[in-house]
Amino acid sequence: MVRGGAAVLRKCGNFVDDLRVYVRGGTGGMGYPRLGGEGGRGGDVWFVARERITLKSIREKYPLKRFVAGTGANSSVKALKGEKGKDCEVHVPLGISVLCDDGKQIGELNAAGERFLAARGGLGGCLATNFVPCKGQRRIVRLDLKLIADVGLVGFPNAGKSSLLSKVSHAKPEIANYAFTTIQPQLGKIMYADYKQILVADLPGLIEGAHANRGMGHKFLKHVERTKQLLLVVDISGFQLSVKTQFRTAFETILLLTKELELYKEELLTKPALLAINKMDLPCAKDNLNELTKQLQNPQDYLHLLEEEMLPANTLEFKDIIPISTHTGEGIEELKACIRKSIAEEAEQENEEYRKKKLLLLQTSEEQMNRR
């Protein structure tokens, strides 16, 4: 059983993954009716994806969270066609979804340099507007961040995810013997001898009911969506959140984690997955591992251990199952090797699929040319 500490809540504001901002395109410039001159169009507001940018830094730099583009220049005798107003560019992190205030997604920025038009500038005064300028588009939008990482660590509180991240990378997450040590996502890089790097995200511990937003479940589960692979971390001795909740064995924990992922978004179960069995330094760990291995080999024989509503419709297929101890270091190097191998295999598979698509496109193009 693990107990929560109140002091841990004080760090909750360090990570920002959702920001509500006001954007307004610039007003157009005045037209010149006597000479038929057109005012300049108002400037546009753009979101531009940049590396090393965080939503927290945006909030600190722009506390009012208002982004307004410049007004178009008025038409004049010297310049009948007014100049366009100055655009407003807002640099945002990679992995941003742009949502309307009602929650509808209107854009996405995943790669550096990608741009999204957040608010268009108004027309300048012209014949069509009776030479009266138009106001720019204005609205409130939400910037929703989903972390992009190679591997996402998933597990119940106190499974040892933060300890594992500190072992495989140079990250320094908070580590303690109570639940919810990780209350904000942490990123770390696995560095290999040949300078290969793999980005790992430690996601805050889930609880039963996370898919229904219990324990801020949606806020944490959304970050799993953009990780390439899943690494489930399970305590070999089982898990109990508090004296009021039921004790779960390692096997039951795996099924419940699978259920939470499935209920949140079924597509998550199609991601490649590894399983790390942690705390192998504890007494009876080897006996528990032998029992867990039997259960994983024939899961259908043990499904009666859980209530029917707790059972996932589909199970995760683990590419590798690695016993580890973050305390002694047992199995850590093997786990790092398995992660690298899995990432490389998936990359090769993606490349092969890409080559097949290109070949098919080329063959189709040649067939169309021959018909002519």
- Smallest CA-to-CA distance from 258 within 250, 249, 248, 268 is with 268
Q: Tell me, what amino acid is at 149?
A: A
CA distance 265 to 248: 23
> pLDDT category, 95, cuts 50, 70, 90?
confident
How large is the average pLDDT for residues 250-269?
Answer: 89
> What is the pTM assigned to this prediction?
0.70
Q: What is the pLDDT of residue 13?
A: 41
β-pair type (18-24, 105-109): unpaired
Residue 14 has pLDDT above 60, yes or no: no
CA distance 341 to 351: 15
CA R_g for the chain: 27
Distance, C-alpha 241 to centroid of its chain: 26
Per residue in 181-217, pLDDT (tens digit) is 444 677 888 999 998 999 898 876 566 554 444 544 4
Cβ–Cβ under 8 Å, residues 72 and 112: no
Cβ–Cβ under 8 Å, residues 95 and 148: yes
